[in-house]
Structure 1
Amino acid sequence: MDDVKYGEILLPGDEDTQARREKTVRKKFWPTFRRAVRQIPFSRDVVAAFYCALDPQTPLKVRGTLLAALAYFVLPIDMIPDMLVGIGFSDDIAVLSAAFAMVSRHMKPDHYSAADSALADEPQGMKTV
Structure 2
Amino acid sequence: MYEIKFSQNKYESNYSDRKFWSKVKKYAKDAGESVLKPALKMYYALIDSETPAWAKAVIIGALGYFISPIDAIPDAIPVVGFSDDLGVLATALAAVAAHIKDEHVERTKETLQNWFGKTN
The normalised TM-score by structure 2 is 0.76
Q: Secondary structure in 1 aligned to 2:60?
A: helix
Given the alignment, which residue of 99, 104, 111 partners 2:97? Answer: 104
The count of residues paired between Structure 1 and Structure 2 equals: 112
Structure 2 residue 108 is matched with structure 1 residue 115 = yes
- Distance in 2, matches of 1:51 and 1:89, equals 21
Structure 1: how far apart are the matches of 2:91 and 2:62? 9
- Identify if the C-alpha distance between structure 1 residues 97 and 62 changes in structure 2 by more than 3 Å, giving closer, same or farther: same
- Counterpart in 2 of 1:25? 16
Structure 2, unpaired ranges of 5+: none
In structure 1, what residue type is equivalent to 2:114? D
Q: CA deviation at 1:85?
A: 1.1
Q: Residue 115 of structure 2: SS of its match in structure 1?
A: coil
- Which amino acid in the other structure matches residue 72 of structure 1? Y
Instruction: Give the structure-1-normalised TM-score.
Output: 0.71
1:46 aligns with 2:39: yes
Long gaps (5+) in structure 1:
124-129
Query: Is the 2:73–2:80 Cα contact (8 Å) retained in structure 1?
Result: yes
- CA RMSD in angstroms comes to 2.7
